[in-house]
Amino acid sequence: MTLQTALPIADLHARLVGGGLRIPDLIGQSLAAIERLNPTYRAFSHLAGDALAQAEALQAELYAGRIRGPLHGLAVGVKGSIPVAGLPWTEGTNIFRTRVAQRDAGVVQRVRDAGGIVLGTTTLSELAMYGVTNAFEPMGLNPWDMTRTAGGSSTGAGVSSALGITQVDIGTDSGGSIRNPACHCGVVGFMPRIGGLSAEGKANHAPSLSTIGLIGRSVVDVETAWDVLSDVPGARIEAPRRRLLVLRELVDTMCDDETLGLFAAACARMEEAGFELVDGEVPGWMAGEHAAGIVSLFECGQSLARMDISLASDGIRQRAANAAKLDATTVDTARATCAALRRALPSALQAAGAGAVFTPTWPFAAPGLDVQSLVVRGRSVPIDPHRNCFVRAANAVDACAISLPMGLYRGARVPAGVHLTAPGGDERMLLALARVAEGCLPALPPLPVV
């Protein structure tokens, strides 16, 4: 990467405060990158018209000696399901094609208070209900291979971060929607527990599962943003206990051979760096993952029932029809299953003496946009729901989770990710573990397009 916009947050902050870089010049580089790259990669759906004016005002504050913090003057993208005052708030659907946000969501106001500059809203799956294409507002394309998914539903956020346009991206996650694009785009995706970042004002079609989180180019950048934007008290942890629970049987069952090879190499590097990896299980993990899908379908269906879905895509209308078939007993059972997993997760970690569960993020490489199934170790599996096996359990139990790169697939030449899951409330410990793990894992090569 040669763009200054892709430098670490700490480096940019030092240059801005030290006078070696002006905020308007940095934001100008981000806007130039959007002009050059967005027509192809579609990271942003709607742009703020006042980004340079914000930059000038924040530069004046620097001249006056007022420094709001490490995000002062940095570029931020906001997922299109989160309202940004004055911008279209479409949620990526024709249903809300004429709606304009009247006020900022809570997390957006927090960004502004911290001196972050909102460049605009990023592309997403329709209504943030996972899909890999969106005819109304075309979704971001994977900058490593445009024929493969960039993940959803916080798609544009992952693409923007990978392209180095933004320093921080705000997304939402109700079943992997931050961690999926982070994995496929080769960046870091962090999902805190519900309420870890303010959800005030955002669209919320799966309230039992959905939370706001962060995407960035490194764990340190994401951790810096978390420190600034979250109200959760506590100091950064510098030396976490390096013991992790590996769901070995699940990993071996669900992953294809190349993912297993990449994960084995990642485990070896981490053990060489002093991590203790303990094989084990979390009882009810897959049952909870499947139950989260039922809860998501039900809650999304309740929300869709209040909309004019005649304006939506066939996929959204089918989702509404499937939700209408659910009965109360099925939903209640699914909620009870999620509750059981929520009890089992901390118990399993405590028994293993581990701080987090450690798995790959996805069981295979980012598939082609039109691919519905893949062969995994001799058997054909549907991409959905097989892809969810490591990520969605965290939503089932309101945990915190993070995905970070572990290398490139040799054949597909797209990134692979590792995934850490911990009980909700352990965000600082999880970030500390991820920060140390990131230092053990191989860095990705430069993204050729940039």
Read out DSSP for 23-52? HHHHHHHHHHHHHHHHHHH--EEEE-TTHH
Whether pLDDT at 158 is above 80: yes
CA–CA dist 159, 141 (Å, integer):
7
Tens of pLDDT, residue by residue over 383-442, are 999 999 999 999 999 999 999 999 999 999 999 999 999 999 999 999 999 999 999 999
Identity of the residue numbered 8: P
Q: What is the predicted pLDDT for the residue at 207? A: 98
| Record: fold of 4-229 | Amidase signature (AS) enzymes (3.90.1300)
Tens of pLDDT, residue by residue over 27-58, are 999 999 999 999 999 999 999 999 999 999 99
Which has the closest alpha carbon to 38: 147, 127, 117, 119?
119
Whether pLDDT at 450 is above 70: no
Strands 243-246 and 276-279: parallel
* E-assigned strand segments in 193-260: 211-216, 243-246
Please report which helix (H) or strand (E) contains residue 416, including its range: strand 415-422
Residue 81 DSSP SS3: coil
**Residue 216 · residue 187 · CB < 8 Å:** yes
Domain ranges, ordered by start, for the chain: 4-229
Strand order in the sheet with 117-122: 44-47, 117-122, 75-79, 168-173, 211-216, 188-191, 400-408, 415-422, 356-360, 243-246, 276-279
CA–CA dist 111, 118 (Å, integer):
8
Whether pLDDT at 255 is above 70: yes
**Mean confidence (pLDDT) of the chain:** 97
Q: The pTM is what? A: 0.98
- Which residues are within 8 A (CB) of 19 and not within 5 positions of it... i.e. 6 or more apart? none
CA–CA dist 16, 23 (Å, integer):
7
**Residue 181 · residue 151 · CB < 8 Å:** yes
Confidence of residue 131 (pLDDT cuts 50, 70, 90): confident
Which has the closest alpha carbon to 384: 405, 400, 361, 367?
367
**Residue 87 · residue 37 · CB < 8 Å:** no
Q: What is the predicted pLDDT for the residue at 357? A: 98
CA–CA dist 420, 177 (Å, integer):
15
Tens of pLDDT, residue by residue over 74-111, are 999 999 999 999 999 999 999 999 999 999 999 999 99
Which has the closest alpha carbon to 144: 339, 338, 361, 366?
366
**Residue 354 · residue 427 · CB < 8 Å:** no
Q: What is the predicted pLDDT for the residue at 2? A: 53
| 330-350 average pLDDT score | 98
Encoding tokens for residue 81? 């399901």
Whether pLDDT at 10 is above 50: yes
C-alpha dihedral sign at 89, 450, 191, 382: positive
Whether pLDDT at 1 is above 80: no
Whether pLDDT at 14 is above 70: yes
| 162-185 average pLDDT score | 98
Alpha carbon distances (Å) from 84 to 65, 89, 119: 28, 7, 10
**Residue 45 · residue 156 · CB < 8 Å:** yes
